[in-house]
């Protein structure tokens, strides 16, 4: 078993910004010539998540609506009383989804179907530069 890791940074707009990172992650797997194994994609943040979904405008809107219903922006949270940043909702939304995703690599390709992409979502209230860590075990 071997492990290879690479990091990259990505600028986000915050406010539920969804960014398709599939080609970047696949490019890393390809550059390391990984044929079979697993790849773990992690965002180093507690207000952002990595997920897979069909990255299209309608579902992106539905996604934001779902989280606004589940964890509303305008609710009073204890975390905001502690730090006064107003981003408790971002931490809670990321908690629900998690900050990483592990996927299989088969014949050099990350196992995704046609309508499935790897997406970074940043729930925070302002633009950020997020670090993505891609670890491959093969």
What is the pLDDT at residue 131? Answer: 99
pTM of the predicted model as reported, rounded to 2 decimal places? 0.96
CA distances for 127 relative to 59, 112, 124, 133, angstroms = 22, 29, 8, 19
Give the mean pLDDT of 102-131. Answer: 98
Model pLDDT, residue 115: 96
> What confidence tens digit (pLDDT) does each residue in 24-37 have?
999 999 999 999 99
CA triple 112-129-124, angle to 5 deg: 85
pLDDT in tens, 55-91: 999 999 999 999 999 999 999 999 999 989 999 999 9
The pLDDT value recorded for residue 69 is 97
Is 33 strand, coil or helix? coil
124 pLDDT tier (thresholds 50, 70, 90) = very high
Residue 50's pLDDT band, with cuts at 50, 70 and 90, is very high
How far, in Å, are 52, 98, 101, 126 from residue 80 at the CA level? Answer: 29, 20, 28, 15
- Domains of the chain plus CATH, in order, are 3-137 (2.60.120.460)
Q: Which of 80, 5, 20 is nearest to 47 (CA)?
A: 80
Phi-psi region of 64 (alpha: psi -120 to 50; beta: other; left: phi over 0): alpha
pLDDT for the residue 33: 97
Around 30, how many Cα atoms within 13 Å sit in the side-chain half-sphere? 7
Give the pLDDT confidence score for residue 39 in this predicted structure: 98
State the average pLDDT for the chain: 97
3-state secondary structure of 116: coil
Helix intervals (H) in the chain: 22-31, 57-70, 78-83, 88-97
Q: What is the pLDDT of residue 49?
A: 98
């Amino acid at each position: 078993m071997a492990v290879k890791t690479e990091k990259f940074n990505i600028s986000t707009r915050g406010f539920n910004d969804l960014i398709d990172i599939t080609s970047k992650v696949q490019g890393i797997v390809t550059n390391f010539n990984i044929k079979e194994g697993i790849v773990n994609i992690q965002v180093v943040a507690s207000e952002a998540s990595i997920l897979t979904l069909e990255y299209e405008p309608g579902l992106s809107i539905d996604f934001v609506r779902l989280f606004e219903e589940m964890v509303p922006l305008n609710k009073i949270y204890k975390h905001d009383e502690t730090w006064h940043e107003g981003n408790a909702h971002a931490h809670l939304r990321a908690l629900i989804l998690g900050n990483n995703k592990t996927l299989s690599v088969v014949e050099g390709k990350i196992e995704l179907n046609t309508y499935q992409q790897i997406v970074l979502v940043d729930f925070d209230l302002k633009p950020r530069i997020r670090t993505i860590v891609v670890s491959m075990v093969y």
